[in-house]
């Protein structure tokens, strides 16, 4: 008797549950509608950037090494200073070179006088021809010696070969300097600056076309992202492609050039080159936040008749970090959910904001 009573109770509970489910199907969803925001899908010209790791390099750079030996007597600049072409940089003790110059000049004057005297005598056959030849040889040797010591005297002062930024001096006043060996400093050009980055060999054609195109001052094809993610305020232009492809990596070095009036770009600085890619054809672009990922596949919720239907899509590139190209799965005019996605299931009822529908977005 007890078993029959329990069985009747269980059957009664099941009946109530079935009726409740049936009632939910007839009367609508058992969950309340979800408030969402939507984005109306449309086609647009999709512009995006290809990014490449890059390094800033100087267009000109030279190590300052002396051409004469001696003690350092003068430093004419401040470390890190911008110097101009022809400006004095270092002075090496000149006394020995000045003395050698004075001796060589005196010897040259004497050799000139001897030659003139022998030349007059030779006109009257008063001396042997060999004597005049010997005087001529002495004159040439004296001229050569004077040129040599004069060069040494000039090289005791070191001048900037071009305008740029001088580094921290590697030698101090009084240091012994050895010709051709002592590294005194490094000078590099500072405006404009070059930026080098590697591109895949498959893109040689594209970058060759960019190289041959005449860029205007407003051309924004090439831009830089500096360390700290700040955008460099000036645009660049392509200067050259390297002569050969690296067979190990299948890449070729492209060099850009950027103005550097504020000296923000320094040799060795690592940065990111952005190359603007203008897509001539129309593409479907939606906010990236509308996309969900399940089992490696991409989905959006499309709103039809106040119901959210989950729809699989194929995605392309992201644009400006918040938009994404959709290759397939969506058509212009459809509405995808952008806010409230996490609360949705396939078939969820939805309501839109009462203040009005959001305006259609546009891809930049």
102 with 143, same domain: the answer is: yes
65 with 128, same domain: the answer is: no
65 with 180, same domain: the answer is: yes
Is residue 120 domain-resident?
yes
201 with 221, same domain: the answer is: yes
236 with 143, same domain: the answer is: no
214 with 256, same domain: the answer is: yes
**What range defines the domain where residue 136 resides?**
94-155
Is residue 211 domain-resident?
yes
Report the CATH number at residue 169.
Answer: 2.40.50.100
Q: What is the per-residue pLDDT for 91?
A: 96
**Intervals of the chain under pLDDT 70:** 1-30, 214-218, 278-281, 320, 354-364
167 with 85, same domain: the answer is: yes
105 with 180, same domain: the answer is: no
Give the DSSP letter string of 196-234. EEEEEGGGHHHHHHHHHS---TT--SEEEE-TTSPBPSS
Is residue 132 domain-resident?
yes
Instruction: Report the predicted TM-score, pTM, of the whole model to 2 decimal places.
Output: 0.66
Is residue 141 domain-resident?
yes
181 with 196, same domain: the answer is: no
Report the CATH number at residue 147.
Answer: 1.10.287.470
Is residue 163 domain-resident?
yes
Report the CATH number at residue 217.
Answer: 2.40.30.170
Is residue 39 domain-resident?
no
89 with 171, same domain: the answer is: yes
Tokens coding 192: 């404009």
Separation between Cα atoms, residue 189 and residue 162, nearest integer Å: 7
Say which residues have a Cβ less than 8 Å from residue 212's Cβ, sequence separation at least 6: none
175 with 209, same domain: the answer is: no
Burial environment of residue 256 by CB neighbours within 10 A (0 to 12, 13 to 18, 19 or more): buried
Number of domain units in the chain: 3
Is residue 100 domain-resident?
yes
| Kind of pairing between the strands at 307-319 and 323-328 | antiparallel
Is residue 346 domain-resident?
no
**Domain finish residue from 188, 204, 231:** 188
Buried b or exposed e, range 323-345, using 16+ CB within 10 angstroms: bbbbeebbeeebbbbbbbbeebe
**Domain finish residue from 236, 265, 294:** 265
**Domain finish residue from 220, 241, 265:** 265
Nearest C-alpha neighbor of 298 from the set 319, 314, 317, 277: 314
126 with 224, same domain: the answer is: no
């Amino acid at each position: 008797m007890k078993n029959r009573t329990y069985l009747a109770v269980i059957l009664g509970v099941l009946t109530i549950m079935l009726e409740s489910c049936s009632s939910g199907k007839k009367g609508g969803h058992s969950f309340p509608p979800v408030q969402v925001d939507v984005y109306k899908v449309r086609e647009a010209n999709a512009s995006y950037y290809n990014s490449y790791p890059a390094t800033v390099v100087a267009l000109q750079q030279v190590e300052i090494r002396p051409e004469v030996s001696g003690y350092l007597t003068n430093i004419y600049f401040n470390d890190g200073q911008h110097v101009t072409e022809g400006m004095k940089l270092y002075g090496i003790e000149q006394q020995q070179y000045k003395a050698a110059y004075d001796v060589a000049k005196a010897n040259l004057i004497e050799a000139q006088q001897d030659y003139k005297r022998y030349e007059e005598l030779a006109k009257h056959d008063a001396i042997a021809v060999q004597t005049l030849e010997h005087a001529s040889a002495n004159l040439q040797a004296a001229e050569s010696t004077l040129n040599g010591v004069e060069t040494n005297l000039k090289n005791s002062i070191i001048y900037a070969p071009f305008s740029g930024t001088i580094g921290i001096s590697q030698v101090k006043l009084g240091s012994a300097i050895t010709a051709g060996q002592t590294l005194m400093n490094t000078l590099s050009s500072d405006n404009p600056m070059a930026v080098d980055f590697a591109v895949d060999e498959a893109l040689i054609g594209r970058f060759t076309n960019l190289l041959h195109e005449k860029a205007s001052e407003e051309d924004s094809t090439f831009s830089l992202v500096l360390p700290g993610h700040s955008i460099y305020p000036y645009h660049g232009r392509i200067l050259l492609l390297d002569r050969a492809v690296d067979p190990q990596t299948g890449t070729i070095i492209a060099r850009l050039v950027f103005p550097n009036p504020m000296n923000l770009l320094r040799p060795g600085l690592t940065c990111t080159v952005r190359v603007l890619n203008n897509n001539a054809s129309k593409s479907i672009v939606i906010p990236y936040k509308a996309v969900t990922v399940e089992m490696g596949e991409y989905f959006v919720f499309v709103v039809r008749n106040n119901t959210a239907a989950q729809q699989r899509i194929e995605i392309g590139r992201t644009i400006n970090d918040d938009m994404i190209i959709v290759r397939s799965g969506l058509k212009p005019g459809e509405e995808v959910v952008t806010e409230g996605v996490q609360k949705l299931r396939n078939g969820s009822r939805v309501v839109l904001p009462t203040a009005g529908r959001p305006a259609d977005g546009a891809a930049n």
